[in-house]
Amino acid sequence: MADPKYKRVLLKVSGEVLMGEQPYGIDMKTVGEVADSVARAHATGVEICLVIGGGNIFRGLSKAAGDMERATADQMGMLATVMNALAMQAALEKAGVPTRVQSALDMPAVAEPLIRRRALRHLEKGRVVIFAAGVGAPFFTTDSGAALRAAEMGCDVLLKGTSVDGVYSADPKKDPTATRYDTLSYTDVLARDLRVMDASAIAMMRDASIPIVVFSIREENSFQRVLKGEGAHTVICAKP
């Protein structure tokens, strides 16, 4: 039975999660683990939209981009998100979950075009919809893509699965005194420049009144726990 807390969710998985212990690229073992946890959540009846980043393969603002025009580098970054989306689709289907990939960049031989009403129908039929290529434009990131899709698909929450279990007062890898926030307001995150997600993504979620939950998807069963409001995470909403 579906957990009553959320009916429809959007899970954003950063590209860096998919590289596992490798320095870059796609680690199919890790992709399989993420897919298994999505499959377990899917089995409870919750409708799931997925947005996968691309930073594990290519980031527009990276050394590899050299002195390339930013728009071109960003287009390469968007193509990277399509590769990750296909890897995630393969892993989810292996786990027995029906899926569709919709790409914001038209690629009819590879993925469906982005059609909101069709995506809604997929969800109703119990398919996981993976949105690839972010918002489909350079100078954005997949965080903004995730926020946009969460708003247009009417999701109850945007879950950001990263390698850290929430938002900290400082970088927990560098500062042992850093503490994790349980809740924050959108305005706190923006005013204090906490860099949880892009400012445009936070502002969009504030305008749409959709809470953001930041958690570590690397920990076993963390996705299911966070869907029930359990486990380590930070909630970003209007009034903490």
Q: What is the CA radius of gyration of the chain?
A: 17
* d(C-alpha 93, C-alpha 100), whole Å: 10
Written as six digits, the tokens of 35 are 């897919």
166 is an interface residue for ligand UDP by CB under 6 A: no
* d(C-alpha 49, C-alpha 130), whole Å: 6
From 51-59, 124-132, 181-189, 229-237, span contacting ligand UDP (CB under 6 A):
51-59
161 is an interface residue for ligand UDP by CB under 6 A: no
Min dist. Cβ of residue 44 to ligand UDP (A): 26
101 is an interface residue for ligand UDP by CB under 6 A: no
Amino acid at 228: K
Amino acid at 240: P
Min dist. Cβ of residue 112 to ligand UDP (A): 17
From 41, 47, 77, 158, residue interacting with ligand UDP (rule: CB under 6 A) = 77
Min dist. Cβ of residue 220 to ligand UDP (A): 22
Which H or E run includes 101?
A: strand 99-103
- Is 3 or 20 the residue whose CB approaches ligand UDP more closely? 20
For residue 16, give the nearest of 139, 169, 173, 150 by alpha carbon: 173
Torsion (CA) 203, 165, 87, 66 in degrees, nearest 10: 70
15 is an interface residue for ligand UDP by CB under 6 A: yes
Q: Which residues would be at the binding site for ligand UDP (CB under 6 A)?
A: 14-16, 53-55, 59-60, 73-74, 77-78, 80-81, 134-135, 137-138, 140-145
